Amino acid sequence: MGLCCHSTWDNCAADFQPCWKMRRAPFLHESRLNVVIYRPKWGKTKWTAVEEQAIIDSCLNNSFRSIFLYVVEKTSVLPKWLPENHVYFNSDNYVLDEAVGAIKARVQERGGEYKPLTPLKKAEMNRSEEEYRRAKSYMSSIDGMAQIFSKVQELFEEICTQCDAVNQAGHDNIEYRVHIKEREIEQICTLAGPRVGMVVVWHQLMSNSLDRAFLGIREFNENMIIPPGRMRLNNPDVIRETKYDADISRALDYGWKLQRGDKGFISSKELASQCVIQFLDLMDRDASGKVRRTTRF
């Protein structure tokens, strides 16, 4: 995972923007130091590959002074583009506090400013934390659930908007349908390609409770939209399912968070982009013959 260290420590943040240009900007233009929490698989996924390329470009522009590598898993394999004499830290030899001290020094070398914690700042942090806890508990209220429903609507609308953009550009043809009605158990947005499908579903068993509620993203090995007058010959198989919980950010905005994994808050707009990209990836895997189907008689 790559982190961007700006002019003060309060502005350090991980960037998860799905738009490539927006995702590159914090690492390339908006940070004094890029801190990479390094594992061997970093740079090998589609998301961290974008981070890696932006950091490489930043390093080339700054003679490799804009990167700090902190290795958290035992490995002898480091990024090939790092100079052989580049100094890095690893968790076996340096505890986190020592690494943080080195990061502070590097940011100061790059013109950053360290602002120590003051009583007033601590009081402000405590107040913000209390507001966040109250907002989290408020999510299960009637007004809170109305906010979540509006975010489901926003998610579906943004998915449709982005599918339209893809279709109008002539790259692919994504068909979609939306079924959304307040107080129903499931709100559904269905995406369909020639031979594959995806369903984004908000499942809320009880309209007055978030107990066991979740947002599911399911990939299928069949088109999930059947044209009028046709019948489905095979029952589609679920290839993959990812579940999200409704969540609230530190800025008190409603959105989503993976049920499993360490990724943080994601907005409906960001998640919509991820869904459409994921579906395009599914269509590409199918075109490459990588989607399995079971023949049924």
Q: Which residues on adjacent β-strands are paired with residue 248? A: 254
Q: How far is CA 191 from the centre of its chain?
A: 20
Report whether pLDDT(18) > 80.
no
Neighbour-count burial for 147-159, b at 16+ CB within 10 Å, e otherwise? bbbebbbbbbbbb
The pTM is what? 0.65
Domain ranges of the chain: 2-109, 139-287
The residue among 64 and 185 whose pLDDT is bigger is 185
pLDDT of residue 289: 92
More confident residue, 273 or 91: 273
Query: What pLDDT, on a 0 to 100 scale, did the predictor assign at position 49?
Result: 82
Q: Which residues pair with 238 in a beta bridge?
A: 220
Predicted pLDDT at 62: 82
Tell which wins on pLDDT, 62 or 200: 200
Q: Place 11 in a pLDDT band, splitting at 50, 70 and 90.
A: very low
What's the CATH number of domain 2-109, 3.40.50, 3.30.70, 1.10.150, 3.30.300? 3.40.50
- Does the pLDDT at position 278 exceed 90? yes
Task: Report yes or no: 99 and 70 within 8 Å, Cβ to Cβ.
Answer: yes
Smallest Cα–Cα separation from 191: which of 203, 172, 175, 180? 175
pLDDT tens figures, 80-102? 898 887 888 888 888 888 888 88
- Mean pLDDT (whole number) for 60-76: 85
According to the model, what pLDDT value does residue 187 have? 97
What is residue 199's predicted lDDT score, i.e. its pLDDT? Answer: 97
Maximum average pLDDT range among 1-5, 37-41, 270-274, 292-296 = 270-274
Mean pLDDT score of the chain: 85
